Amino acid sequence: MTKDQLKSSVLKRIKTDQLSPKPHWQFTLREGLMWTLGTVAVFIGSVAVAVIIYLVSSSDLDLLLQASGNPIADLFKLFPYFWLILLALFVLLARYQVMHTKRGYRYSVWLVAISLVTASIIIGAFFSFTGIGQQIDQAFEQRLPMYSDLLAPRHDVWCPSEGGRLGGMVLEVVDSEHFRLIDINGNEWIVDLTEIQATTADITPREVVRMLGELGAEGVFEASLIRVKPLDTPFGPKGRFEERMEVGGRALPPGARNIFRVRITG
């Protein structure tokens, strides 16, 4: 085929097949779609960061590290694997989208990945201020049984163990030095506060508390440190606690809200 023959052949085929250039909007749409998907992926990654920040900040690591036992094993239990994997997946997805934009390929893979992680962290930190992290975590916990099972270890960390720690929900304040508590496994405890260290805390029924101390007589926990969690702190994986309460035929005291509040001052 000579020089002119190829040109003629191409132009002839364009004419006979009535080919015409694809409209510009198709390419703009594709480009827009790439950026939109990339932005959505960064947004989801940021939500994951917000939940990670919430999980870490609400895990009372300082208390755990003071407890006897194996804090490293506890750290592994508290590690937010699910959200970190989700963050990694969406950063990868966003990176793919960015690299497939018109000029995205010019940037180094690592530069794009690091920029996306940084953006997710900054936006995620902002989200965590607005409480989105906690809301998402609780929504997942209430609606996804799988999520609860996956994250169950973070609640187990506060089960009574040789580590000398106990977490649970206050059932009833008995007097200024004792209250009744139910742990995540549905076991009832009397918490003795006589040995409490300098701590000021308002204890009211339905509040979630986490404590360090020692096991005393059967069913008694002698607390040395107590931390009262905010009222909206999840007590444990949804279902697990409530089911046990039902199976055990127990329920929160009906007048729980009216029980007087005590101030415990060490």
Q: Applying CB under 8 A, which residues contact other proteins?
A: 1, 3, 6-7, 9-11, 13-15, 19, 21-24, 27, 102-103, 105-109
Residue whose C-alpha is closest to residue 172's, from 256, 245, 244: 256
What are the residues whose beta carbons fall under 8 Å from the beta carbon of 44, sequence distance 6 or more?
86, 90
CB 13, min distance to other proteins, A: 7
- DSSP run (H or E) holding 128: helix 109-129
CB 48, min distance to other proteins, A: 27
Cβ closest to other proteins, residue 82 vs residue 96: 96
Q: Which residues pair with 221 in a beta bridge?
A: 191, 215
Measured CA to CA, the distance from residue 212 to residue 222 in angstroms comes to 8
Asked if 170 and 207 count as a contact pair (C-beta separation under 8 A), the reply is yes
Q: Apex CA 147: angle with CA 145 and CA 153, to 5°? A: 105
Cβ closest to other proteins, residue 30 vs residue 143: 30
Cβ closest to other proteins, residue 16 vs residue 258: 16
CB 121, min distance to other proteins, A: 23
CB 91, min distance to other proteins, A: 18
Cβ closest to other proteins, residue 23 vs residue 249: 23
